[in-house]
Amino acid sequence: MLPFRPVVLGTDLLVFAMMACVLAFAIYTMRREHLRAPWRKVAGSATGMVAATVLAVFVTVGILDSLHFQRALPPGSAAEGSHYAPDVLSVLDVATGSLRTRSEKTFSAPFAAYGHAKETLNEVDGTQSRAQPRLRHGGAHLRDPAREHHADIRSRVAWGVALAGMLWVLVASLIIGIAAARRGRRFAQVSGAVWQGRHETPLRAVLLTLAVLLIVFVPLATLSHVYHVLGTDKVGQDVFYLALKSIRTALVIGTATTLVMLPFALTLGIAAGYFRGWVDDVVQYLYTTLSSIPGVLLIAAAVLMMQVYMDTRPDRFQSVVHRADFRLICLCVILGVTSWTGLCRLLRGETMKLRELEYVQAAQAFGIGPWRIMLRHVLPNVLHIVIITTVLNFSGLVLAEAVLSYVGVGVDPAMNSFGTMINAARLEMAREPVVWWSLAAAFAFQLLLVLSANLFADAVRDALDPRVQATLMRNAGWGRFVARIARGQAPR
């Protein structure tokens, strides 16, 4: 019997499918010089690469959090034929150690050794006093927090920074080594070029970004074993852990929605542009109708109906995790089905232009069937539009998730996400003294993710097709649709 049993949730499948798509596309691109050229331009832009580095860290966390399993129960304790513990864990849960289970009673500030609010404590001599209680886990290793607290944090931060420095040297020499080996040059030569900013890819910016990320997160990670580095929330959960878990939800919403949306937009858009006639009329009617319903309302209506479906069939779901996961898939499907119209419109217009070109007419003259022409000659030539919309919309979807969760039509309340974090934290600002750390954590993590996604999207757009920029923005396309939802307004 294995010590664990892998569990594949629905959204995990979507994540793996998305990874397979990206991989397949990367291989397809690598083999064709004319497709590789624009990506080389992306690799040459400093902001693009810095953003990609940050995104890569987020994606790594998200993938680690998508590998789920169940632990085996110790032999002898297996109850009712099941040999595995009921709770589904992810690799991230294991990697963060005891962060998941070390919860306090209620709020506590970052790095605190005492609780946030005063409580009535029973002293040893039988009297009672009002004071902040010691935390169960945060700073529990300190004998006298008043004296040792600051020195302890200082020395641990110093250790963390030293560790980060060593890690950075390791990673940096690995990257430079690979760069040197690929060009067949000496290590010292390449590192000199990188340091002076003369290397063709802006490796210096990437390495500096890595340095900043490591210096911030390695000490945080090492300290998180003895303190709650970002405090705890109302029910005493570690906020740092919650923020890490929220990353996967944001990534799933941002990517899986695109995965759902693409088949609709691609087939309908290209078919409408290629066939014209009644096909075009039907598709145009479809997307005009769908896009005339304000996005939030359509999503709200669909999610309400999904809720009715789920609530009247509670026995369909094995556990809370499965239930939350099903709801996340449904949300992605709903977002995807309601938002393919903008991309479809763009693809239809582009296909209409392409079908008049010589190579398509040559293919027609050779008697090649329409579906084959669309697949072989039209699709590859509209792919850049697809990629640009995909990356442009990612950040909008991440922002939209928070708003939808607030409205009550977002992810399951049991699922960690930036939306649920903000939603739970918004009343905490009214407390006395103010509880700011949950909100600050959600703010920082979401800002970092969305900002780097935006900057990366800009770099990709500039490289792939600078002309598309104007069209995309003019057409009130999908990006604006999602962006409007993200601001909580009816889309234009």
Partner 1 sequence: MLRYLVRRVLYAFPILIGVNIITFALFFVVNTPDDMARMQLGVKRVTPEAIENWKRDREYDRPLLWNADAEGIGRIRDTIFWNHSIRLFSFDFGRAESDGREIGHEILARMGPSFAIALPVFLVGLATYVSFALVMALFRATTLDLFGVVLCVVAMAISSMFYIIGGQFLVSKLWNLVPISGYASGLGAWRFMILPVLVGLVSNFGEAGRWYRTIFLEEIQKEYVRTARAKGLSEWRILVHHVLRNALIPILTGVVAVIPLLFLGSLVMESFFGIPGLGSYTIDAIGAQDFTVVRSMVFLGSLLYIVGLILTDLSYTLVDPRIRLQ
CA-to-CA distance for 417 and 412, rounded, in angstroms? 9
Which position among 301, 352, 368, 424 is part of the footprint of partner 1 (CB under 8 A)?
301
CA angle 272, 274, 279 (to 5 degrees): 35
Kindly give, in sequence order, each residue whose CB lies less than 8 Å from that of residue 272, ignoring residues fewer than 6 positions away: 279, 280, 282, 283, 284, 344, 348, 351
Which position among 385, 399, 415, 482 is part of the footprint of partner 1 (CB under 8 A)?
399
CA-to-CA distance for 242 and 250, rounded, in angstroms? 12
Closer residue to partner 1, CB minimum distance, 288 or 319: 288
Residue 88 DSSP symbol? E
Taking the C-alpha atoms of 231, 233, 238 and 241 in order, what is their torsion angle to the nearest 10 degrees?
Answer: -110
* Torsion sign, CA atoms 198, 201, 453, 244: negative
Size of the site for partner 1 (CB under 8 A): 58
Question: Where in 306-365 is the site for partner 1 (CB under 8 A)?
Answer: 306-309, 311-312, 314
Q: Considering the rule CB under 8 A, would residue 209 count as an interface residue with partner 1? A: no
Which position among 60, 288, 318, 319 is part of the footprint of partner 1 (CB under 8 A)?
288
Which position among 34, 75, 292, 358 is part of the footprint of partner 1 (CB under 8 A)?
292
Closer residue to partner 1, CB minimum distance, 153 or 404: 404
Question: Where in 409-428 is the site for partner 1 (CB under 8 A)?
Answer: 409, 418, 422, 426
Closer residue to partner 1, CB minimum distance, 90 or 438: 438
Q: How far is the CB of 200 from partner 1 (least distance, A)?
A: 24
Closer residue to partner 1, CB minimum distance, 29 or 307: 307
Which position among 222, 446, 463, 468 is part of the footprint of partner 1 (CB under 8 A)?
446
Q: Considering the rule CB under 8 A, would residue 188 count as an interface residue with partner 1? A: no
Decide: helix, strand or coil at residue 121. Answer: strand
How much is the CA Rg of the chain, to the nearest whole Å?
26
- Is residue 258 within 8 A of residue 342, CB to CB? The reply is no
Kindly give, in sequence order, each residue whose CB lies less than 8 Å from that of residue 40, ignoring residues fewer than 6 positions away: none
Residue ranges in contact with partner 1 by CB under 8 A? 285-286, 288-290, 292-294, 296-298, 300-302, 304-309, 311-312, 314, 395, 399, 402-403, 406-409, 418, 422, 426, 429-430, 434, 439, 443, 446-447, 450-451, 454-455, 458, 469-470, 473-474, 476, 483, 486-490, 492
